[in-house]
Structure 1
Amino acid sequence: AWIMEHAFGLHNWKIVPTTDINTTFALALSIWLLMLFFNVKVKGFGGWMHELFCTPFGKNPLLWLLNLLFNFIEYVSKPLSHSLRLFGNIYAGEIIFLLLGMWAATGVSGTIFGAILGAGWAIFHILIVTLQAFIFMMLTVVYLSMAHESH
């Protein structure tokens, strides 16, 4: 087991890949780049710039900076919230598995209760992982469909 772990680097592998923030951020960043691509493709570069400077407060040049600030916050927050939501929920589930495992190491009664609770949590965790994948997919659909619409 030691040879497999250290020779092949298996200690770096995770059961659920989205417990690594780099994975979830790469997924969210790819969606963000697609969102930018479709914004420019559908609206044209000029239409996208018009939307950046004139939405949500209108075409008054005095409001361009405020509009750009709001749109900048929106464009920065989308990949951050998209990635951190997935990472946080999946990582929390893995931490609960670790806590149950530590409880199981406390003795015979801890082993029995840890095994029962661990089995229950495993079933619940499968539902959570599926739900989080669905939420990530739905947010992807929403973000990409928003790139095809005008304000």
Structure 2
Amino acid sequence: MSGNASELTTSGYIHHHLTNATVGEGFWTWHIDTIIVSVVLGLIFLGLFRMVAKKADTGVPGKLQCFLEMIIEFVDTSVKETFHGRSKLIAPLALTIFVWIFLMNLMDLIPVDFLPVLVQKVAEAFGADPHHVYSKVVPTTDMNTTFALSLGVFVLMLYYSIAIKGVGGFIKEMTMQPFNHWAMIPFNLILETVTLIAKPISLALRLFGNLYAGELIFILIALLPWYGQWFLSVPWAIFHILIITLQAFIFMMLTIVYLSLASEDH
């Protein structure tokens, strides 16, 4: 059992690991650990791709360049096969979503006590009480992150729908589908509105639910004796690699599909 787990009750240990470091009150509460980790991972993503792009040449590429080119080609192929409109934004957006979410999900593979204890030690050196210092290092286990991502996609859906079809075309789509008759306008509007709103909600909750459950399992494993931790954490971590990659891919693909549907002019 880890040091923190031995000092806290089981419920206290779980609660401590599932609590964000916050500032502010009420609606204006900011999860600073989520923001810091997300921004740092975003900068790593941008810096890494920029560094490789600047050093890329037509000769024999290095291993890192080959790896990143494989990712770019994979995302580019997915966009070409799924998105049927014309936009230079979709491919870079899909690449950003896939890599950024993957990096945020990847934080779940760091031992659950490592970064929180490190943050506590730093805070203690500055005179803070370590028991009141929280650090939740997987941004996608914070519903604020997943909903922020999905709302960004939702705004783009509305933008493409109105930009390509016009305001009148968008209103017609919301009121005359699936039943093309004026008497069914109220029913169509309710049905299409629910369908439209359900897309960002399901997008956010799917990513949050899978990563939150994975993090919770890692925390429960950390409560076991050391031999039980190794016996269970290694197989679960290997299986979790598939989950974190798959969830990033699903979020990216659904984003492409939703924007493709918004771009279609019937």
* Shorter-chain TM-score tier: 0.7 to 0.9
Distance (Å, rounded) in 1 between the aligned partners of 2:239 and 2:265: 40
In the other structure, the counterpart of 2:164 is 42
Q: 1:82 aligns with which of 194, 197, 203?
A: 203
Q: TM-score, normalised by structure 1?
A: 0.87
Matches within 5 A, 1:47-126: 47-58=169-180, 60-104=181-225, 111-126=226-241
Q: Identify the residue that residue 127 of structure 1 maps to in structure 2.
A: 242
Residue 251 of structure 2: aligned partner: 136
CA distance in 1, matches of 2:188, 2:178: 6
Secondary structure of 1:119's counterpart equals helix
> What SS does structure 2 have at the residue aligned with 1:103?
coil
Once the two structures are TM-superposed, the CA of residue 3 in structure 1 deviates from its matched residue by 5.0
Letter in 1 for 2:223: M
Matching of residue 32 in structure 1 with residue 150 in structure 2? no
Q: Cα deviation per residue 1:29-52 (whole Å; 9 max; x = unaligned)?
A: 000000000000110111111111
Which amino acid in 1 is paired with 2:146? T
1:6-40 CA deviation, whole Å, 9 max, x = no partner? 6699x544332100000000000000000000000
Q: Structure 2-normalised TM-score?
A: 0.51
- Misfit runs of 4+, over 3 Å: 5-9
Equivalent pair of 2:164/2:265 in contact (CA under 8 Å): no
Shift of 1:149: 1.4
Residues 93-141 of structure 1: per-residue CA shift (max 9 Å, x gap)? 000001111123xxxxxx2122121111112112211110000000000
Q: What residue is the counterpart of 1:108 in the other structure?
A: none
The share of aligned pairs that are identical, in percent, is: 48
- After TM superposition, give the deviation of residue 5 of structure 1 in Å: 3.9
Q: Which runs of 5+ in 2 are unaligned?
A: 1-117
Aligned with 1:4 (options 122, 140, 147)? 122
Instruction: Go from structure 1 to structure 2 and tell me whether the alpha carbon gap of 1:5 and 1:80 turns closer, same or farther (over 3 Å shift).
Output: farther
Work out the CA distance in 1 between the residues paired with 2:123 and 2:230. Answer: 25
Between the two proteins, the alignment pairs up a number of residues equal to 144
Residue deviations 1:39-89, cap 9 Å, x none?
00110111111111101100x221000010001101111111000000000
Gaps of 5+ in 1: 105-110
Q: Post-superposition shift, 1:145?
A: 0.3
Q: Identify the structure with the greater helix proportion.
A: 1
Q: CA RMSD in A?
A: 2.1
Give, in whole Å, the separation in 1 of the partners of 2:246 and 2:139.
16
